[in-house]
Structure formats: structure tokens, C-alpha cells
Amino acid sequence: MQGRSAAVTALALACAAHFLVVFDVSVMTVALPSIQSDLGFAPESLQWVVSGYTLAFAGLLLLGGRLADLYGHRRVFVSGLAVFTVASLIGGLAVTPAMLIAARAAQGIGAAVLAPLSLTLLTTTFPEGPRRTRALTIWTAVGLAGGASGNMLGGVLTEYLSWRSVLLINVPIGVPAMLLAVRVIARRTGPQRRVRLDLPGAVLATAALTLLTLGVAQAHTHAWSDPRTALPLLGGLAALAAFAVVETRYAPTPLIPPRLFGLPGIGWGNLAMLLAGASQVPVWYFLTLTMQDVLHYSAAQTGLGFLPHAVVMLVVGLRLIPWLMQRVQARTLIAAGALIAASGFWWQSAITPDSGYLTGIFGPAVAISLGGGLLSTPLITTVTAGVDSADAGAASGLMNTTRQFGGAFGLAVVLTLTTTASGTPAALAESYGNAFQAIAVILLALAALTPVLPVLRERQHAAQR
């Protein structure tokens, strides 16, 4: 890809793919009651509308990230987007629970390719410095807004059209994006010589991540010591240990090249990303429950309740972060964002059934979204700094895996501190308040970690000069 117009097009495609992936993580939450009623889901199987997507997505992220390095950005991007779009169409037309769950799993497979590649397109198109920072800022803001708008649009579409529309809306976005990708993404790939995929590593990584995610998901409804939780977790840890041995001793072209861990931002940066994911994913789940169970908002009102989150994240990401990152160290912004977001979650924990919108939702939303917007782009910049273009997909897959697993693990841990069973609005408010306080503690841990993150401001200034 050459020229300014090609770079802008690459940014647009990356943002579209990133939006679709993040949007579909959150969009189904508000629609679940309508799906259960329409398709006749049993209560115990309804969670698989979300978990089917999450398991496939998390389990294949490392493999999805490496595929682009080996087989070319265009081929892998179009293939992933095609799988995601067709699965969305099938899911939107589903007539049985099994058909919908299968479609959601297929969406997760496509998303596992798109999520890391959307970031890889940026890191291989824009060199480190102010231009990459601006591109990452836009990409991050679109993703953050996608998470908030997933809940917002999901509620509005479900109430005024149908739950099917939250899946079918992906089709008119995915088809034009595929046609555009075929025209503008370069055919070239990473290595000049033909490199074989690390199949044993891919199988072990997929098994490890799928089992770990399944175990964490089971912890939502079963104790950590329950065999339905413990056995997948133990199996996942065993597969992860085997993966580490294969990658470091036997794989000629490892799925995750060990040289990546020599970069200053990879190790500590991904630990910080784990904590960030653990704080960001549960917020949509518990805010949805809070608005519906405590404040008795309708699906549409709940969706619109997320509007300030989306607006503040976009404003901070597009207007404030590019200016700040030329003047303030990335790790300072991460710490400040984590502390501001933590204060917002602590405020959110004080909600009661008598809270009005301004103090119960809007005020905390501004603090949560301001903090989240401040920390996200600097954290992604930290994790991707210094990565060679040949390893960009692997680094992106690792980062997305860390964030996704952090989100699943954070949700499972926070759920153990709450009860989502039927109860009075006051009791539920107290229970959900415990969840928001736990998320605040996770963010405080993230802030405490920032002193060990590398300093990146000098690199940006050097690139600018």
C-alpha cells in the first residue's frame, strides 16, 4: 500500500473490522430476553449465544494473528470478513437455538482473524511516531465506541425492529468492506520465502485458550472447585505448558516468536492489557443489568443510557489523546486514565433504585469513559512499540488474546462477588455495586503497575523530528 489515500483506506478498513468485532461482543446482551422468547431457549442454554462467540473468538486469536504474517493481509482479511458476514446472515435468519449458537461460533472464528489483523494493518501501514499514534487513536476510539454502541443499538434495534436486526446489520457493512479490501489491500505477505504454519503450536494454543475460556465461563454458574470448572482450567493450563515447550524448543516458525518477549512493551504491557480487559468487559454486563433491574429501563432506554459512554470515548480518543501523547509519557496517561476510571466505578457503585439519570448513570459514565479513553491508546502503543512488521500479526494476536481472556476472567471473578438472582431493586443495586467496586480495584492495580512500563514519549518525539 502506498500513498496517503491508501493509508486512509487501510485505516477505514481496520476501523470497520474492529468495530464489527467489538460491536458483536456486546450487542447481544440486551437482546437475550427477546431471543429466549422467540426461539424457545432453555434458561441454562441461553448463555451459549454469548459464550459460543467468546469461546471461538478467544481460542483462535493467536492463530488468527499469525495467519496474516504467513499468508498475506488481503487473503486473510477477506476470508475472515467473509466468514463473519455470512455467519451474521445465518444467525439473523436462525429458526432454532442450535442454528443461532452455531452461527455465533462461526462469527467468533471470523472475528478471531479480523481482530488482530485490523491492528496489524495499522502497524504495518503507519511507522512508529505521530502518524501511527493518530491512526491508533482513531482505531481505539472506534473500538471503545463500538462496545458502548453495541449495547445502545442492540437495545434500540431489539425494541423497535427485532433481535434479528442486531445480526443482520453486519451484512451491509461487511459486504462493501470485502469489496474494498480486495481492491486496496496489498497482496504481499510477511516472509519472502514460503513458511509453513506451526500446526502443533496452533492446535495447542487453540486448545489451551478454548479450555481456559470455557473454564472461566463455567465459573459464572459453578464454583471454581466444581469439576465443570476445574477440569477445563486444568486441561487448559496443561495445553498451555505444552505450547510453551513446543514453541521454545521444537517449532521452526513459532506461532508466537520468542524474540517478541525481548521487547520492553510485550511482557509488562500485556499484563497491563490483561488488567484493562478485566475492567472493561464486565462494565457493559453489569451496567445493562443495573439499568434494567434497578432502574427498570426498557431495552431502548437501556441502549440510550450508553450514549454518554460512546460520545465521551470518541471525543477523548479523537481530540484529546493525539495532543496529550505528544506531551505526556504513555505510562503516565495509562495511570491517570486508570485512576479516573476507578473513581467513576466507585461512584457508579453508589447507585440506588431512587437514583436519577444524571447522578446514577450520566455522571459515572463521564468519569468511566474519560478514564478508559485516556488509557486505551497509550496502552496499545506500548504493547506494539518496536514490533517488526513480520511479527505484527503475532504481536497483535497476543495482545488481543490477553485482553479477551482478561475480560472473561475479570467477569468470572466479579460475578463471584455478586448475585444476579431475582431480588428487590435495592438488593440488586447493592450486589451490582459490589461488582463496580471490584472493577475499581482492578483499575487501581493497573495504575500501580504503570511504573514498570517502558517510557515511549521520547520515541515518538524522535520519530517526529
Q: Where are the domains of the chain?
A: 3-197+253-452, 198-252
Q: Which residues contact 425 (CB under 8 A, 6 or more apart)?
A: 293, 294, 295, 296, 353
Stretch 220-247: mean pLDDT: 84
Give the single-character DSSP code of 455. P
Residue 160 pLDDT grade (very low, low, confident, very high; cuts 50, 70, 90): confident
pLDDT of residue 252: 73
pLDDT of residue 438: 92
Q: Give the angle 345-348-352 at the CA atoms, nearest 5°.
A: 155
Place of cell 429501563: 297
Residue 236 pLDDT grade (very low, low, confident, very high; cuts 50, 70, 90): confident
What percent of the chain shows pLDDT beyond 70? 87
Instruction: Work out whether the CA dihedral 32, 151, 14, 174 comes out positive or negative.
Output: positive
Q: Give the range with max mean pLDDT: 112-121, 133-142, 339-348.
A: 339-348
pLDDT of residue 407: 79
Place of cell 487513536: 137
CA dist 247 and 203 (Å) reads 12
CA dist 276 and 278 (Å) reads 5
Place of cell 486508570: 338
DSSP string for residues in 273-336: HHHHHHHHHHHHHHHHHIIIIIS---HHHHHHHTHHHHHHHHHIIIIIHHHHTTTS-HHHHHHH
Instruction: Work out whether the CA dihedral 424, 429, 431, 432 comes out positive or negative.
Output: positive
pLDDT digits (tens, 9 = 90+) for 183-222: 777 655 444 445 566 778 778 888 887 788 778 777 767 7
Residue 42 pLDDT grade (very low, low, confident, very high; cuts 50, 70, 90): confident
**Which has the higher per-residue pLDDT, 175 or 191?**
175
Nearest CA to 256 among 214, 207, 204? 204
Q: Which three cell numbers stand for residue 247?
A: 514453541
Find the farthest-apart pair of alpha carbons in the chain and give their distance in angstroms, rounded: 66
DSSP string for residues in 220-250: TTS-TTSHHHHHHHHHHHHHHHHHHHIIIII
Class of domain 3-197+253-452: mainly alpha
